[in-house]
C-alpha cells in the first residue's frame, strides 16, 4: 500500500536522512494511514540525538519541547515533533519510567510502544517496519499489547485506558490475552492521575463505546463506581449522538445529582461537565410537559439555554417524543421572543414594593414575590404592578 506522506513530513525525513541519521514516521499516523484515515498529526522518530536533530534543522524554527525525553519540535509549515529513538528505563508507580535512554536502533523504540497497531514505522521511501504484526491486527481489528500484556500494564497502567479507548474509537476488539490482563490489572488504575484517566475516557465515550462499556464495566467502575451498565442504559448510549457529555450523563442517570457531583469533582472533571450532569440529573425528577406554565417553570429554574439542553437530553434518552421535544423547544423560543416573565427580576413588583404594603414580615417577602411570580407564570395574573399589588393585598401570608 502506498501511503501518502505530507510534504513537510517528507522534508523532515529527508533532511535527517541526508545528515546520516535514520528517521521514520511512527505510531498513530502510520496506523491511521493504513486504515485509510487522514492522520491528525505526524510524529517522527530518529536515531539523531536531540542536539543533532536541532543542528539538522538550523535553518528552521526549533522549539526544545521535551529534550529530556528526546523530543524537539521543528516548524516546517506547522509544528512537527521529532523524538530520538528511546528505551524506557524501569517503571515507577505503574505510570512512568524512572529514566529514558536513547538508542540508535529503531527496534528498541518500537518495542516500548503500547499496542501492535501503534508500533509501526514508515520510512521516506514508503517501507513499513512492522515487527509485532501490527498490519495483521489492523486487518483483524484487534488491539493487542506489544509483548506480555500484564507486564505492559504493570509498567504503565494508563495503557489499560488507552486500550479501551482505541478499541472504542477504532471499533476494534481487544485480543484475548490483552483483555484478560486489562481485567486482572484494573486495580492499577488507582495509581493513575484522575485527569489522565478522564482524558482517555472522554475519547472513549466519543467512539463506538457500547460494547466496551458493557464488556469492561468492572474496569470502568474502578474510577466511576456509580455508573450504571444495565442493558437499557448501554442501549441508550449506543443510540445517542457521539457526545461525551451526553453519554456521561446517561451513564450516571441512575445516581443522584449530589452523588454524581461528588464523584465528578473527585475525578477533577471540568465545571462545564459538572454543571451539565447535575442539571440533567436534577431535571430527571421534574414533571416535564409542554404546557406553557410548566415550560416557564423550567426556564425559571434553569434558564433558557439549559432548559433546551435538558429537552435535548430527554429526547435522546426516549423520555420525550420528537413531537414533544419540538413543542417544548418552540415554546421556550416563543416565551423568550415575547419576553414573558419567568424570573423575579422581570416581575413588575420588587421587594421594596411588597415591604411598603406592610402585609408580611420582612423575612417573608421573598416567598410573597415567588408566589406572585408563580401566578404570573401560570397566567393567573398579568405582570403589571397594580394587579400584582392587588393580588398581594388579597392573599394571606
Ligand atoms: P491519537 O493521537 O490519535 O490519539 P496516537 O497513537 O498518536 O493516537 P499518542 O498518545 O499521540 O497516540 O501517542 C503516540 C504514540 O506513542 C502511540 O502511537 C504509541 O506508539 C506511543 N505511546 C503513547 N502513549 C504510550 C504509552 N502510555 N505506552 C506506550 N506507548 C505509548
Ligand atoms: Mg498522536
pLDDT for res 209? 98
Among protein residues, the one with the nearest Cα to ligand 1's atom 1 is 28
Instruction: Name, in order, each residue with C-beta under 8 angstroms of 8's C-beta and a sequence gap of 6 or more.
Output: 76, 77, 78, 80
Of 113, 132, 134, best ligand 1 pocket probe by most atoms within 8 Å of the beta carbon: 113
Q: At what angle do helices 322-337 and 304-316 cross, to 10 degrees?
A: 170
Across the chain, what does the average pLDDT equal?
95
pLDDT for res 100? 79
The pLDDT tens digits of the residues spanning 286-321 come to: 889 999 999 999 999 999 999 999 999 999 988 899
Q: Is the shortest distance between the CB of 28 and ligand 1 below 6 Å? A: yes
Burial 69-94 (b: 16+ CB within 10 A, else e): ebbbbbebeeebbbbbbbebeebeeb
Beta bridge partners of 74: 62, 80
Query: Ligand 1 centre and the CA of 28: distance in Å?
Result: 6
Distance CA 59, CA 70 (A): 20
The pLDDT tens digits of the residues spanning 141-174 come to: 999 999 999 999 999 999 999 999 999 999 999 9
pTM score, two decimals? 0.89
Among protein residues, the one with the nearest Cα to ligand 1's atom 27 is 159
Q: Quick one: which of 301, 295, 28 has its CA closest to 162?
A: 28
Query: Ligand 2 centre and the CA of 39: distance in Å?
Result: 8
CB neighbourhood size of 150 (10 A)? 16
Among protein residues, the one with the nearest Cα to ligand 1's atom 16 is 27
Of 9, 27, 168, best ligand 1 pocket probe by most atoms within 8 Å of the beta carbon: 27
Among protein residues, the one with the nearest Cα to ligand 1's atom 21 is 113
Distance CA 188, CA 196 (A): 13
Q: Is the shortest distance between the CB of 113 and ligand 1 below 6 Å? A: yes
Distance CA 164, CA 208 (A): 11
5 CB-contact burial (10 Å; exposed 0-12 / middle 13-18 / buried 19+): buried
For residues 68 and 6, the model is more confident at 6
Query: Ligand 1 centre and the CA of 96: distance in Å?
Result: 14
Q: Quick one: which of 305, 200, 201, 199 has its CA closest to 247?
A: 201
Q: What angle do CA 332, 344, 315 make, to 5 degrees?
A: 25
pLDDT for res 89? 75
**How far is C-alpha 295 from the chain's CA centre?**
30
Which ligand is nearest the CA of 121, by number?
A: 1
Amino acid at each position: 500500500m502506498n501511503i501518502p506522506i505530507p510534504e513537510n513530513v517528507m522534508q523532515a525525513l529527508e533532511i535527517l536522512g541526508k545528515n546520516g541519521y535514520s528517521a521514520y514516521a511512527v505510531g498513530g499516523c502510520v496506523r491511521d494511514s493504513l486504515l485509510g484515515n487522514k492522520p491528525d498529526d505526524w510524529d517522527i522518530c530518529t536515531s539523531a540525538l536531540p542536539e543533532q536533530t536541532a543542528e539538522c534543522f538550523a535553518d528552521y524554527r526549533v522549539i526544545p519541547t521535551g529534550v529530556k525525553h528526546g523530543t524537539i519540535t521543528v516548524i516546517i509549515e506547522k509544528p512537527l515533533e521529532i523524538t530520538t529513538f528511546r528505551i524506557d528505563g524501569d517503571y515507577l508507580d505503574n505510570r512512568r519510567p524512572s529514566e529514558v535512554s536513547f538508542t540508535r536502533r529503531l527496534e528498541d523504540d518500537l518495542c516500548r510502544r503500547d499496542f501492535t497497531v501503534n508500533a509501526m514505522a514508515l520510512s521516506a521511501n514508503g517501507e513499513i517496519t512492522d515487527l509485532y504484526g501490527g498490519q495483521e491486527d489492523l486487518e483483524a481489528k484487534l488491539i493487542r499489547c506489544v509483548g506480555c500484556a500484564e507486564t505492559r500494564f504493570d509498567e504503565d497502567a494508563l495503557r489499560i485506558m488507552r486500550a479501551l479507548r482505541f478499541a472504542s474509537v477504532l471499533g476494534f476488539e481487544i485480543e484475548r490475552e490483552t483483555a484478560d490482563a486489562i481485567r486482572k490489572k484494573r486495580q492499577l488504575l488507582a495509581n493513575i492521575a484522575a485527569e489522565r484517566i478522564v482524558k482517555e475516557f472522554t475519547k472513549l465515550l466519543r467512539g463506538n463505546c457500547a460494547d466496551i462499556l458493557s464488556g469492561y464495566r468492572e474496569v470502568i467502575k474502578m474510577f466511576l463506581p456509580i455508573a450504571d451498565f444495565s442493558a437499557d442504559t448501554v442501549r441508550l448510549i449506543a443510540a445517542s449522538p457521539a457526545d461525551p457529555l451526553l453519554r456521561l450523563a446517561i451513564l450516571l442517570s441512575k445516581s443522584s445529582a449530589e452523588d454524581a457531583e461528588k464523584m465528578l469533582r473527585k475525578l477533577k472533571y471540568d465545571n462545564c461537565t459538572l454543571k451539565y450532569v447535575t442539571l440533567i440529573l436534577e431535571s430527571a425528577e421534574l414533571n416535564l410537559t409542554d404546557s406553557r406554565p410548566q415550560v416557564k417553570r423550567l426556564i425559571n429554574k434553569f434558564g433558557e439555554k439549559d432548559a433546551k439542553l435538558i429537552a435535548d437530553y430527554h429526547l435522546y434518552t426516549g423520555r420525550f417524543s420528537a413531537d414533544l421535544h419540538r413543542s417544548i423547544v418552540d415554546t421556550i423560543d416563543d416565551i423568550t421572543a415575547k419576553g414573558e416573565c419567568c424570573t423575579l427580576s422581570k416581575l413588575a413588583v420588587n421587594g421594596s414594593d411588597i415591604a411598603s404594603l406592610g402585609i408580611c414580615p420582612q423575612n417573608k417577602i421573598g416567598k410573597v414575590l415567588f408566589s406572585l411570580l408563580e401566578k404570573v407564570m401560570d397566567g393567573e395574573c398579568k405582570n403589571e404592578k397594580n394587579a400584582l399589588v392587588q393580588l398581594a393585598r388579597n392573599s394571606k401570608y
